[in-house]
Structure 1
Amino acid sequence: MNYRLIIISAYLGLMLTGCSEKKETQIALQKQVERPNIILFVADDHGTDALGAYGNKVIKTPNLDKLASEGVRFNNAYCTTASCAASRSVILTGLFGHATGSYGHVHDYHHFSTYDKVKSLPVLLEKEGYATARIGKYHVAPESVYHFQEELKANPRNTVEMAEQCQGILASEKPFFLYFCTDDPHRAASTNPGQWDAPNSFGNKMEGYAGVETITYNPEDVIVPDFLPDSKESREEIAQYYQSVSRIDQGFGRLMQMLKESGKADNTIVIYISDNGMAFPGAKTTLYEPGMKLPCIIKDPSSKLKNTTSNAMISWVDLTPTILDMAKVEIKDNSFHGRSFKDVLNVKEPEGWDQIYASHTFHEITMYYPMRVVRDKNYKLIRNIAWRSEYPFASDLWAASTWQEVYRNNKEFYGKRKVQDYLFRPEFELFDLEKDPDEMLNLANDPNYKGVMDEMIKKMKDFQIKTRDPWLITWDHDSSLQGTGVNL
């Protein structure tokens, strides 16, 4: 036997194997280099009403306006539920909350939590070689489902300080995913809790925040949205809200400056959104337009479109599949309720993006008021499943001087809507948003729209079946999706 030949053959085999493994490693590293970095910046209770890029000429948001000039601003971007924790679960899973157990608030005694079998966006990106980090508001559970490799610490009301703490992740040798979540412009403890007509502070402080220029607004100058009463109380609260938004803008600007200094701006996708609409009755917790139609600005350096707008209807349930697509992660069919809109960033007038769905069940655990929504082109159908009950108030919205001024004076109207109509809603609300953007004329019982109603109800039921919505049972006691009660 020629042992020398055997030894040489084995040596050559090992060399070839080593070369093959080295080549595979190089290919894997090359794939990592080609993957973009991703920053998902999520504000807390920020509507389209308070952004220069969306037409507000009073508020000062130069850094976010610059992002819009460099990317794509969506005119029809929607959350699926206008409640912080529930909305964030959708953002990070691509699944509706009614299908994941994320029915409402996760903190304190509310204790809603996502099923532990769900795979969230940061977990999926980590598996693909991404460095993942989060900073600021988390508000989802359990941690095992929404796991980030790194938790950065900073005052979530000081977005400049938050940005400064992101230096490490921006310098990552791996592609990175940064989940940047402010507490602004969410309501805070009132500036004077003992005085009902004092405006909420929205996190603002007389002494300001380190590194942040305090930008104040005259209540006489602010723009009062049509759904709010144009009162002294509303204007004072909106002025505080604007100040909080301007603080976000400064932190965002600092983060973008740091990104540019890192040399990675040309390979980083930046997404700016909010979890739900402004924290005023009539917006947050409702599925009327002010509650769910939100800012969405995306700068993708590889996109063909710059400084443009898109009328495509997108939803927060689309964000996870979109970000995975941007990260060049293979997406299996039916993994998510949403779908990637990555290609929309390259098309001025995309087709097939004219329908969205929404699903709200709880805000706080004492606020059970399930609603389901289908929006198809200009028509929008809201089904108020608990329509026999009075519409519930989030605790901070009830205490808002904007609401208390109406409530304590027993006024008939809150903005354009009668107080009675706001508190007691019919089972169905059908609106033609092209003719009625304020959602004032309910067409649900108009015989001229019976065909539209029938078609919209069918779409809503199909949506509930497709997403295995337990509340399907509220249609004629349909128990087809009900489980056995046994955890198999």
Structure 2
Amino acid sequence: MKNKFCYLLERFCVSILFIIITSCFQDKSDKHKTVNNTTPNIILFVADDHGTDALGSYGNPVIKTPNLDKLAAEGVRFTNAYCTSASCAASRSVILSGKFGHATGSYGHVHDYHHFSTFDGIKSLSNRLSDVGYLTARIGKYHVAPESVYLFDEVLNADPRNTVEMADASKGVLNSEKPFFLYFCTDDPHRGHPFKPEKWDIPNSFGNKPEGYKDVEQIVYDPKDVLVPDFLPDTKQSREEIAQYYQSISRIDQGFGRLMQHLEQAGKLDNTIVFYISDNGMAFPGAKTTVYEPGIKLPCIIKDPTKGKKGIVNNARISWVDLTPTILDMADVSYQENEFHGKSFNAIIDQEKPNGWDKIYASHTFHEITMYYPMRVVIDGDYKLIWNVAYQLDYPFASDLWAASTWQGIYRNNKEYFGKRTVKDYMYRPEFELFNLSKDPGESDNLAKQEDYQEILESMKLKMKDFQLNTKDPWLIMWDHDNSLQGTGVNL
């Protein structure tokens, strides 16, 4: 009887152990159940310093961007899409985290001695997609850190100035049996080395080379034909540099076209969502590193084969802080809304005038470490408020923008105006700048000190403070020494 009892007890224990082990394996496999044959592939194509000023689909009749224009014709073009900081590394950290850089430690550039690195506890878009079974791959510009936070399954190699070569190097990912997320980042149309030419009036190359690039058709623009945005001076130097900028963008367009060809050959066109965005505006003074519209209002074209409408224009105000939750939503990956500062706009992509999308925020603190000039922005309806936190300082220049012949042509010749602004107004900013964007899209009429707008100004300030409080912005302390977010300084 005793032996029989021991035998039954032994069998019972083995059965329990078997259930526990199989449950553990089941839990592990269930982790990847969100990906299946209907899970969409996702391509996030990010240009470097490309504004809305230089795309055919955004109204430029001179520049040749047929492949990106085709994407707009087959998808949705957003006219009010914004980055949160007009600086490469800071912007990219937001794209991949869904959080403002002031809350993640991504205050500015990550390379060399700048070394602004994202906090270890942040979980990025690529890591989240890898966790549910996506193949994640990146190619081209990275410019975020640490790698453990922004981890990809595969790192592809190609010349980041040759998007055709980059597209060819991506074929293996496009043919993956698993759903894929491809983070495709060009160096174009960023200014090229040397940033400081031997003669001050030589235009920057924007990565263009006299001998061109393998498999890329050189499309050269005559400086007299380019369109000079009204925030820039219409000078010989500006036109020569814009012509180089256009040429670099046409190279991007060819690589994008090649990537779409490979996607079609892989049979994935109907199951791949494609984004085209830029990290910040054109690399000219008055755009990049500023929070004026040319610096933060950017192209955003999305083609989602699951959406019914094509070729539409969406006027919702969306932000790069919204990209991570949107992409996770598209991939049907679960998350808690309070994990991000942004919100998914997946449900309104194919709507032209969705309700409730009229407010965005921006937060810029550094570009290079020597460029301390924190700015916070709220746009709500027609009004935009900029808070220049360090307004007592003169406005700092990125090293490449200072050396730009476009700027030097004004600076060396003691010109009074740089575009619509005086040089003095560009260099020395007031604490607050309030604009009515519907009446003054060029942001030339500061309403902050006008008596009739004091109520609006105070209302916008309150919205800005709420934004800073909700996103744990350390620079909240600059409002009357408000230290409510500050800890004790003691690690417990």
Contact preservation (8 Å) 1:192, 1:198: no
Matched position secondary structure for 1:210: coil
Q: Which residue does the alignment assign to 2:69? A: 65
Q: Which residue does the alignment assign to 1:444? A: 448
Matched position secondary structure for 2:477: helix
Distance 1:27 1:107, change over 3 A: closer
Deviations 1:451-487 (A, max 9, x none): 1111100000000000010000000000111122234
Measure how far apart 1:45 and its partner are. Answer: 0.1
Q: Which residue does the alignment assign to 1:200? A: 204
Contact preservation (8 Å) 1:305, 1:345: no
Q: Which residue does the alignment assign to 2:258? A: 254
Distance 1:223 1:34, change over 3 A: same
Measure how far apart 1:159 and its partner are. Answer: 0.3
Q: Give the aligned residue type for 2:164.
A: V
Matched position secondary structure for 1:357: strand
Verify: 1:103 aligned to 2:107, yes or no.
Answer: yes
Measure how far apart 1:32 and its partner are. Answer: 2.0
Q: Percentage identity across aligned positions?
A: 70
Measure how far apart 1:190 and its partner are. Answer: 4.0
Contact preservation (8 Å) 1:32, 1:129: no
Distance 1:27 1:43, change over 3 A: closer
Measure how far apart 1:30 and its partner are. Answer: 7.9
Contact preservation (8 Å) 1:120, 1:146: yes
Output the aligned Cα RMSD: 2.3
Q: How many residues align?
A: 483
Deviations 1:407-437 (A, max 9, x none): 0000000001000000000000000000000
Moved over 6 A (4+): 24-27
Matched position secondary structure for 1:460: helix
The counterpart of 1:214, out of the listed 211, 214, 218, is 218
Q: Which residue does the alignment assign to 2:161? A: 157
Q: Give the aligned residue type for 2:106.
A: S
Measure how far apart 1:378 and its partner are. Answer: 1.0
Q: Which residue does the alignment assign to 2:278? A: 274
Verify: 1:358 aligned to 2:357, yes or no.
Answer: no
Measure how far apart 1:346 and its partner are. Answer: 3.1
* Mapped partners of 1:372, 1:136: distance in 2: 30
The counterpart of 2:332, out of the listed 328, 334, 351, is 328
Matched position secondary structure for 2:385: strand
Q: Which residue does the alignment assign to 2:227? A: 223
The counterpart of 2:268, out of the listed 253, 264, 268, is 264
* Mapped partners of 2:339, 2:490: distance in 1: 24
Q: Which residue does the alignment assign to 2:373? A: 369
Q: Give the aligned residue type for 1:345.
A: I
Q: Which residue does the alignment assign to 1:169? A: 173
Measure how far apart 1:117 and its partner are. Answer: 0.3
Q: Give the aligned residue type for 2:328.
A: L
Distance 1:30 1:48, change over 3 A: closer
Q: Give the aligned residue type for 2:149.
A: V
* Mapped partners of 1:26, 1:79: distance in 2: 36
* Mapped partners of 1:30, 1:205: distance in 2: 46
Q: Which residue does the alignment assign to 2:438? A: 434
Deviations 1:255-285 (A, max 9, x none): 0000000001100000000000000000000
Q: Give the aligned residue type for 1:47.
A: G
Q: Which residue does the alignment assign to 1:287? A: 291
Matched position secondary structure for 2:172: helix
Measure how far apart 1:100 and its partner are. Answer: 0.2
* Mapped partners of 1:477, 1:299: distance in 2: 46
Q: Which residue does the alignment assign to 2:152? A: 148
* Mapped partners of 2:419, 2:353: distance in 1: 34
Deviations 1:139-171 (A, max 9, x none): 000000000011000000000000000011111
Q: Give the aligned residue type for 2:226.
A: V
Q: Give the aligned residue type for 2:335.
A: I
Q: Which residue does the alignment assign to 2:126? A: 122
Verify: 1:185 aligned to 2:196, yes or no.
Answer: no
Distance 1:310 1:113, change over 3 A: same
Q: Which residue does the alignment assign to 1:408? A: 412
Q: Give the aligned residue type for 2:368.
A: E
* Mapped partners of 1:444, 1:196: distance in 2: 37
Q: Which residue does the alignment assign to 1:425? A: 429
* Mapped partners of 2:172, 2:346: distance in 1: 28
Distance 1:191 1:334, change over 3 A: closer
* Mapped partners of 1:193, 1:228: distance in 2: 21
* Mapped partners of 1:54, 1:113: distance in 2: 34
Q: Which residue does the alignment assign to 1:36? A: 40
Q: Which residue does the alignment assign to 1:241? A: 245
The counterpart of 1:316, out of the listed 300, 320, 331, is 320
Matched position secondary structure for 1:33: coil
Compute the TM-score of the two structures, normalised by the length of structure 2.
0.94
* Mapped partners of 1:191, 1:175: distance in 2: 40
Matched position secondary structure for 1:234: helix
Contact preservation (8 Å) 2:314, 2:350: no
Structure 1: which 5+ runs fail to align? none
Verify: 1:395 aligned to 2:399, yes or no.
Answer: yes
* Mapped partners of 1:30, 1:273: distance in 2: 27
* Mapped partners of 1:310, 1:435: distance in 2: 20
Q: Give the aligned residue type for 1:287.
A: V
Matched position secondary structure for 1:58: coil
Distance 1:131 1:28, change over 3 A: closer
* Mapped partners of 2:48, 2:139: distance in 1: 13
Matched position secondary structure for 2:349: helix
Matched position secondary structure for 1:358: strand
* Mapped partners of 2:359, 2:173: distance in 1: 36
Measure how far apart 1:377 and its partner are. Answer: 1.0
* Mapped partners of 1:139, 1:94: distance in 2: 16
Moved more, 191-200 or 476-485: 191-200
Measure how far apart 1:173 and its partner are. Answer: 1.0
Matched position secondary structure for 1:295: strand
* Mapped partners of 1:424, 1:369: distance in 2: 12
* Mapped partners of 1:436, 1:264: distance in 2: 44
Q: Which residue does the alignment assign to 1:454? A: 458
* Mapped partners of 2:295, 2:34: distance in 1: 43
Contact preservation (8 Å) 2:32, 2:131: no
Measure how far apart 1:333 and its partner are. Answer: 2.5
Q: Give the aligned residue type for 1:332.
A: Q
* Mapped partners of 1:50, 1:190: distance in 2: 23
